[in-house]
Copies of this chain bind each other. A is one copy, B any other.
């Protein structure tokens, strides 16, 4: 008996949620590794990254089969296209968590800088964004999706402040330059993670309303 397209879309959504859980876990582990100085957690991040990559291939193949066999139109088609994009964003979030892990491994060899503490707060906001963006996706909740765009502004503002603080710190503490650069890079990676969650929120708004809000004219470096 052939399953209906609704059941298959539900299965796809479930797979996206599982994948999002892997992204959240990767991010959680890398921050714990960094602040508890627990090296073994880096292995967990890399394992999660492998898992996320497998997830991505599975979701992509599922979407291709669905498109080929069901020839969906209108809202179903928009939903599948959104899933293809969300899938790419989640995979790149996994890459960003891995990038943080590589920088964190260098950072742990150096004398820490006090400004690094802000990464904990940033990572909590970003994890929240990941979770909420996927909740908004599964529930088709446009109001929640719009909230994520505001949370991203908070992440960007924090990152800009960290950059300024660290530039000042480096001027007075030339021995801390490498450690400060590591923190700048990790803050940048967290900001990118937030951007990907924002992309997901925008895809949700598009999938639900058919409204394209991607190019509102606001850019952040």
Chain A interface residues toward B at CB < 8 A: 49-50, 53-54, 56-57, 60, 63-64, 67-68, 71, 73-74, 77-78, 81, 84-85, 88, 91, 95, 98-100, 102-103, 163, 167, 170-172, 174, 177-178, 181, 184-185, 188-189, 212, 214-215, 219-221
Contacts and interface: CB of A to CB of B under 8 A. Distances in A.
Count the copies.
2
Contact of A167 (B77, B95, B178): B178
Given A99-B219, A174-B174, A64 B78 contact: yes
A85 B87 CA distance: 11
B170 A177 contact: yes
Q: Which of A77, A95, A102, A219 has the most CB of B within 10 A?
A: A219
A99 B221 contact: yes
A9 B170 CA distance: 53
